[in-house]
Amino acid sequence: MVAPPCAMVIFGAAGDLTKRLVVPALYDLVRAKRLSQQFQLVGVDLAAKTTAEWNQGLSEVMSQFVAQSGGEFHVDQLDRAWRWLTDRMTYLQGDLNDPGTYRRLGDHLAALDKEPGTAGNYLFYLAVADRFFSVAISGLGTAGLVNEKPGQWRRIVIEKPFGHDLGSARALNADILKTLNESQIYRIDHFLGKETVQNVMALRFANGIFEPIWNRAHIDHIQITAAETVGVERRGKFYERTGALRDMVPNHLFQLLAMTAMEPPISFDADAVRAKKAEVIQAIRPMSEAEALRRPRAGHRGFLHTRRCSSRPVRGRWSSMGYPPEDPGLQETRSWSKPDSNSRSHLNEKPFRGR
């Protein structure tokens, strides 16, 4: 199925998420012929760039995927599909706190509606820090860019983390619903787009061998391993504010946990699957503060030096920042870098009750 004509706007176009995940995923869609000929991609970021410079930077990242064959994206060479995508890219410099950014974006989108003809359909992807979610949505609302008309749609994709705790998540939800209808909001976890993750559902519920035995009578325990091929690298500012635990566990790993332990849904539409996932999360026995403090602290921080994953070296935090491996100042921190840390969850839900 080919998507309808639309303009996709990425806020945070010069950021790491756009380079490593969003644009490569769009490239895969181009190769699969899933995007309309009228598709347009607009990047918005504070960085002072031209469209040509933005394209060049993305091409360099895509070239790295070519060199690292066997990755999650199907990039064998920068071919006609990549040129098809870059021909449809434009870049706007702008500050999300500046109302003028949204006015200029509105003028640009109006021009794209006329030529090449995006039909007034806009998809806004917020690949920015969560503190900008409300700012961007409010700016779009004030500029009239999320108002839907008959025959047109306007949608917002909000990346994780959706708030930093329950209170902030509820506050953010209430804030964005002042501007948007619920049907316009897509709260996503990009891990769910990975082929391996998508295959979990098929393995569990459509495989005649595994489906009957996927329960506590036949499974002793389950380990979920997040083997990243990318280290902290130059994302220190992000990790200092967000932290590796908040970046991975409450979203990516809990999604995998829910998909692994959920009961069969009555259907595979979004609401039915979400309801069964929620049952799993509700069934997790919370760990008391005393239990948490008794757990060994080793390994709770990301590794600091180079390790190997999928036969490739992955640079740790200190290695990527240029620290020498024998820096005496790192002796204490090395006690945190054990690679065999485990976290345990206890489920009180059938089919894994008691595990």
The catalytic residue positions are 252
Classify residue 267 as exposed, middle or buried by CB count within 10 Å of its CB (0-12, 13-18, 19+).
Answer: exposed
CB atoms within 10 A of CB 140: 25
Cα dihedral 93→98→102→108 (10° resolution):
-30
DSSP string covering 105-167, please? HHHHHHHHHHTT--TT-EEEEE-S-GGGHHHHHHHHHHTTTT---TT--EEEEEPSP--SSHH
Query: What is the DSSP pairing of strand 312-314 with strand 307-309?
Result: antiparallel
CB-based contact 186:179 (threshold 8 Å) = no
Helix (H) or strand (E) holding 89: strand 89-93
Question: Which amino acid, one-letter code, is at 278?
Answer: A
CB-based contact 294:280 (threshold 8 Å) = no
The angle formed by the CA atoms of residues 220, 303 and 222, to the nearest 5 degrees, is 10
Distance CA 305, CA 315 (A): 6
Question: Which amino acid, one-letter code, is at 254?
Answer: F
Question: Can you read off the two tokens belonging to residue 125?
Answer: 């992807």
Q: In terms of residues, how long is the chain?
A: 355
- Which distant-in-sequence residues (6+ apart) come within 8 Å of 330 by Cβ? 304, 318, 323
Question: Can you read off the two tokens belonging to residue 260?
Answer: 């692994």
The owner of tokens 């992955």 is: 314
